Structure 1
Amino acid sequence: MKTFNFFSQLHVFGCHVAGPGSSVMPTNRTSPVTTEHSTTLAMQGNIDCYDRRPRSFTAQRGEYWVLYNYIVAQRQFRCWESVTYTTHADFTFLDNLEPLLDRWRGPISLALHAPGTDFNTTLWTIRYLRDCGTQPVADLVTFHFYFPSKHLPKAIPKSSTIFDTKYNCSIPPPWTNTTTYKSQKKLLYPVNVGRNIAREMASTHYVLASDIELYPSPGVIGDFLEMIRRQEGPLRHKNPKVFPLSIFELEASMNLPNDKTELVAMLRNGTAIPFHKKVCPGCHNVPHSKEWLNANTTQAGLRVFHIGKRTGYFVHWEPIYIGTHADPLYDERLSWEGKSDKMTQGYVLCVLDYEFQILDNAFLVHKPGIKTLKKDPARAIAAGKTNSLIRKTIFPELKILYGTKKGCAV
């Protein structure tokens, strides 16, 4: 196994960081962690947050059983000293974890859908990543497992015994097996259950709730916390706020860009395009995107480039952003197959008058390979059912719970 001297490269960001003034709930509805102000606000960098120490426990969540903090990262962070990348997957997507860690270099909270026999394959995949990989998976990644109550695994080992058995690194990783229990049983992928589990379990105040195939530009954590420390202009606004990162796709043969200068060059020569340009351009059409591309890329660090709203031309925008535990969660009745899984949460953000403070030098790139629109009759049926559910049930609920606001729509 190759070794990676992570701690020699890890930057710990914790001193003199000022928060944007948004309130933080000291705990959440599942009580996953013990919380406390461990020191003075000055020592916490003036981020008003609570340390959230992970606690391993099993609990029901609707029709799902969840193993919260089933495998806990060896390195833990104070609430103010990093940003947690929160995400979801099944074992077939875990080939993305190493390239993600290579660029993120910070804590990751990962919820894994593992019904039936997929549970054991998922465990072997994590063994492979920890025993055979090049990235500090054991140090930085906390894994949570979830599965439907009707599709439990046959046995669940104690987490303390999982790594007693080592992976044979001479054989291929488990994700090369494309046959899954989920596909055999024709189960839907409960994407928002995973999103919410991963986000609720994050120990840091700031979280980047994203998808595992989206890789961030290097250095985001340090640059973001330094920006927060400066508390310039828009950060002092009283409105609730989140910080979107622009998203892009690359040709399959291309290397990931390391900074905005490289990204812009790829966009101009056609080897990169805006995310979902050929699938759903309106879903990721970012306000002032042309101005963002033409802006000066020589300025180091991050700043707020533009404050966008999810209205008008951008009413169906699905931003991926850095936020906090105070932000609304995602509706867990929605599946990946049914599409529109982030639309209802976007409506709530709009009604609550969130500011989308778009960051200038930070971005996300999808795993290389341009997405194209393909006919999928089964998914079209699922999407129709989802649209009906949103229109007849979820949207009327949201109007009662949050109200309405001109320009806001699902």
Structure 2
Amino acid sequence: MAKILPFCALFLVTLIVIYLWNVSNSINYELEAKEETLLLSDYERSQRGDPSNFSQILQQVKHITGCLDRPMEPKIQQRGDYWVLYNYIVAQKRFKCHESVTITTLGDFTFLDNILPMVERWKGPISVALHAPGTDFNAALDAIKHLRCHSALVREFVTFHIFFPSGHMPPKNLKTYDFEDDHECPETLLLPNSTYKSAHQLVFPINLARNIAREMAQTHFIFPLDIELYPSPYLIPKFLKMIAQNGPWATPRVYPLAVFEIETGQKIPDNKTQVQAMLAKNLAVPFHHNICAQCHDIPKALKWQKTAETPGLRVFYSAKRKGEYVHWEPFYITTHQEPLYDERFTWEGQKDKLVQGFVLCILDYDFMILDNAFLVHKPGIKVKTMDERRQAMTDLTDMSIKTEIMPQLEILFGRRGGCEV
């Protein structure tokens, strides 16, 4: 009996410690959640131009980055064999360099339906580069007019740049709109069933589009995304708060996010907890799970998926693009200081992001994977298909990388063990 009493006392103390630890964690979580709610309400007020405590975070971001404001002026410029109409249709809101994060994205008029879910979740600046050769130009303007007519968020936040090959100019009588006139907005939008691009078998210069959208972004931090990727809500204020609390930093870095695909017909998840529930029911999978899992799985992906959601934004893991992840093609928040994309690559030839990843590896970048934030592809889980034309162009891309691009990169940036394209 005497031996049992100390054991019972120890057991009781252990239970009390566990209980107090759980209570403490619960209180901390509730405090963090309350603080996050205040942050988001401050951010919403700042977007409306009202005074808020969020301005203190922005001032700290400005101090840390030392960034300079960037103008938003329309201009026409030639880029190689392409004409570019920069800031052709501009957003109503303007941002100083430290005040937000800009999504930079790209496509043609057939992809513009993705702008609405993107801007509704982002509620911040978006810079879009649209490829519009020949008669696709007028179709692009029709689609933009429709979006701006029916969405105040598009009018406020989305700026469009249009580009086309010099050998495929728009029609002589270009359709023009007064984009500030929101009258006569049709409920339906009639667009061509096919594109000028496909009829003339043109390629899509995807990296040129990425660079056009990026160069016009007003903010220091930018988020290059494919147009069918939608971010988790309120990422901007959470990210800027994290930067304000943790900067400045001595090493070069970018901030990747986990990316997922969901089944057709499913509601796009709003938070990590919802993502985890969908993964458990096989309603969601990691991006390109059936096509090239190693290209997009973040390091420690399973741990990320099992780690409980917490308020705010944190760095989940710091990784290098080496070893098992030597061919990783992450989507990440970055800045204007990072290298531009190699404009020799096309969407049809694939592998368009690999070279930039290789350069960041050579420059010894840290990839600071974010927790509690993610991207979701437009609903519909992809499966691998065979396209003979794309495969032929991919073979040409592989040859170009081996014989031309890699030797040039070694001269420009040198070598680093473990870095590969």
TM-score normalised to structure 1 length: 0.87
Which residue of the partner structure matches residue 331 of structure 2? 320
* 1:169 and 2:181 aligned: no
Which residue of the partner structure matches residue 338 of structure 1? 349
Measure, in 2, the Cα distance between the counterparts of 1:230 and 1:9.
Answer: 19
Measure, in 2, the Cα distance between the counterparts of 1:375 and 1:158.
Answer: 38
Q: 215, 218, 221: which is aligned to 2:230?
A: 215
Counterpart residue identity of residue 267, structure 2? N
Describe the shift of the 1:11–1:270 C-alpha distance in structure 2 as closer, same or farther (beyond 3 A): farther
Q: Deviations over 1:332-391 (max 9, x none)?
A: 010001010000000000000000000001100000000100111111111111111111
Give the superposition deviation at 1:51.
0.6
Which residue of the partner structure matches residue 182 of structure 1? 197
* 1:378 and 2:389 aligned: yes
Give the superposition deviation at 1:166.
5.5
Describe the shift of the 1:307–1:11 C-alpha distance in structure 2 as closer, same or farther (beyond 3 A): farther
Q: Deviations over 1:145-201 (max 9, x none)?
A: 111111111237597745669565143353xx3300000000011100110000110
Which residue of the partner structure matches residue 147 of structure 1? 164
Measure, in 2, the Cα distance between the counterparts of 1:79 and 1:160.
Answer: 30
Q: 60, 68, 81: which is aligned to 2:99?
A: 81
Preserved CA contact (<8 Å) 1:11 1:222: no
Measure, in 2, the Cα distance between the counterparts of 1:256 and 1:306.
Answer: 25
The 3-state SS of whatever aligns with 1:388 is helix
Measure, in 2, the Cα distance between the counterparts of 1:391 and 1:383.
Answer: 12
In the TM superposition, 1:7-406 aligns within 5 A as 10=47, 15-17=55-57, 44-131=62-149, 133-155=150-172, 161=178, 168-174=185-191, 177-231=192-246, 235-297=247-309, 299-406=310-417
The 3-state SS of whatever aligns with 1:54 is coil
Measure, in 2, the Cα distance between the counterparts of 1:152 and 1:66.
Answer: 11
Which residue of the partner structure matches residue 24 of structure 1? none
The 3-state SS of whatever aligns with 2:359 is helix
Measure, in 2, the Cα distance between the counterparts of 1:268 and 1:43.
Answer: 38
TM-score normalised to structure 2 length: 0.85
Describe the shift of the 1:159–1:227 C-alpha distance in structure 2 as closer, same or farther (beyond 3 A): farther
Measure, in 2, the Cα distance between the counterparts of 1:284 and 1:43.
Answer: 29
Preserved CA contact (<8 Å) 2:61 2:240: no
Preserved CA contact (<8 Å) 1:250 1:368: yes
Measure, in 1, the Cα distance between the counterparts of 2:254 and 2:290.
Answer: 26
Preserved CA contact (<8 Å) 1:14 1:81: no
Preserved CA contact (<8 Å) 1:16 1:46: no
Preserved CA contact (<8 Å) 1:15 1:43: no
Measure, in 2, the Cα distance between the counterparts of 1:242 and 1:389.
Answer: 27
Preserved CA contact (<8 Å) 2:319 2:369: yes
Which residue of the partner structure matches residue 38 of structure 1? none
Measure, in 2, the Cα distance between the counterparts of 1:251 and 1:9.
Answer: 36
Instruction: Indicate the structure with greater helix content.
Output: 2
Give the superposition deviation at 1:395.
1.1
Describe the shift of the 1:252–1:294 C-alpha distance in structure 2 as closer, same or farther (beyond 3 A): same
Preserved CA contact (<8 Å) 1:112 1:145: yes
The 3-state SS of whatever aligns with 1:53 is coil
**Which segments of 5 or more consecutive residues in structure 1 lack a partner in the other structure?**
1-5, 19-40
Measure, in 1, the Cα distance between the counterparts of 2:308 and 2:188.
Answer: 47
Matched residue count? 376
Counterpart residue identity of residue 147, structure 1? F
Q: Deviations over 1:19-70 (max 9, x none)?
A: xxxxxxxxxxxxxxxxxxxxxx769354310111111110111111101111
The 3-state SS of whatever aligns with 2:62 is coil
Give the superposition deviation at 1:136.
1.5
Measure, in 2, the Cα distance between the counterparts of 1:125 and 1:182.
Answer: 16
Q: Over alpha carbons, which structure has the higher Rg?
A: 2
Preserved CA contact (<8 Å) 1:98 1:135: no
Q: Deviations over 1:122-165 (max 9, x none)?
A: 0011011111x235111111110111111111237597745669
Preserved CA contact (<8 Å) 2:46 2:54: no
Counterpart residue identity of residue 83, structure 1? V
**Which segments of 5 or more consecutive residues in structure 2 lack a partner in the other structure?**
1-42
Measure, in 2, the Cα distance between the counterparts of 1:44 and 1:264.
Answer: 35
Preserved CA contact (<8 Å) 1:259 1:361: yes
Across the aligned residues of Structure 1 and Structure 2, the Cα RMSD in angstroms comes to 2.1
The 3-state SS of whatever aligns with 2:237 is helix
Give the superposition deviation at 1:17.
3.8
Preserved CA contact (<8 Å) 1:71 1:159: no
Which residue of the partner structure matches residue 23 of structure 1? none
Preserved CA contact (<8 Å) 2:251 2:366: yes
Measure, in 2, the Cα distance between the counterparts of 1:165 and 1:14.
Answer: 32
Counterpart residue identity of residue 56, structure 2? H
Preserved CA contact (<8 Å) 1:306 1:358: yes
Preserved CA contact (<8 Å) 1:16 1:229: no
